[in-house]
Structure 1
Amino acid sequence: MIELVALPNLVTIPGLDLGVFSDEPASVATTIRLLLILTVLSLAPAILIMMTSFTRIVIVLSFVRQGLATQSMPPNQVLIGLALFLTFFIMAPVMSEVNERALTPFLNEEMTQEEALEEAVIPMKEFMAKHTREKDLALFMGYAGLEQPETLDDIPLTSLIPAFAISELKTAFQIGFLIFVPFLVIDMIVASVLMSMGMMMLPPVMIALPFKILLFVLVDGWYLIVESLLRSFQ
Structure 2
Amino acid sequence: MKNKQLYLTLTIALLMVLLPRQVWAQPVPIPDIDLSIGQSENPTEVVDSVKLLVLLTLLSLVPAILLMMTSFTRIVIVLSFLRNALGTQQTPPNQVLIGLALFLTIFIMAPVYNDLNEQAIKPYLANQITQEEAQVRAAKPLREFMLDQTREKDLALFINLAKMDKPQNREEVPLRVVIPSFIISELKTAFEMGFLLYIPFLVIDMVVASTLMSMGMFMLPPVMISLPFKLLLFVMVDGWYLVVKSLLESFR
Cα displacement (A) at 1:23: 8.2
Determine the structure 2 residue equivalent to 1:91. Answer: 109
Q: CA RMSD in A?
A: 2.2
State the one-letter code of the partner of 1:207.
Answer: I
For residues 116 and 140 of structure 1, what CA distance do their matches in structure 2 show?
26
Determine the structure 1 residue equivalent to 2:235. Answer: 217
Determine the structure 2 residue equivalent to 1:154. Answer: 172
Within-5 A mapping of 1:160-199: 160-199=178-217
Determine whether 1:102 maps to 2:120.
Answer: yes
The two structures have a TM-score, normalised by structure 2, of: 0.80
The two structures have a TM-score, normalised by structure 1, of: 0.86
Determine the structure 2 residue equivalent to 1:117. Answer: 135
Query: Larger C-alpha radius of gyration, 1 or 2?
Result: 2
Percent pairwise identity: 62
Determine the structure 1 residue equivalent to 2:246. Answer: 228
Which consecutive unaligned segments of at least 5 residues does structure 2 have?
1-31
Determine whether 1:142 maps to 2:140.
Answer: no
Deviates more, 1:31-40 or 1:95-104: 31-40
Aligned residues: 220
Cα displacement (A) at 1:104: 2.1
- Structure 2 residue aligned with 1:63, among 62, 81, 97? 81
Helix, strand or coil: the match of 1:43?
Answer: helix
Determine whether 1:132 maps to 2:139.
Answer: no
Deviates more, 1:92-101 or 1:34-43: 34-43
Deviation track 1:19-50 (CA, whole Å, cap 9, x = no partner) reads 5xx888x7998767654443321111011111
Helix, strand or coil: the match of 1:89?
Answer: helix
Cα displacement (A) at 1:111: 1.6
Helix, strand or coil: the match of 2:167?
Answer: coil
Which consecutive unaligned segments of at least 5 residues does structure 1 have?
1-12
For residues 32 and 91 of structure 1, what CA distance do their matches in structure 2 show?
28
Deviation track 1:192-217 (CA, whole Å, cap 9, x = no partner) reads 00000000000000000000000000
Deviates more, 1:175-184 or 1:31-40: 31-40
For residues 100 and 14 of structure 1, what CA distance do their matches in structure 2 show?
37
Determine the structure 2 residue equivalent to 1:43. Answer: 61
Determine the structure 1 residue equivalent to 2:97. Answer: 79
State the one-letter code of the partner of 1:187.
Answer: D
For residues 86 and 14 of structure 1, what CA distance do their matches in structure 2 show?
43
State the one-letter code of the partner of 1:62.
Answer: S
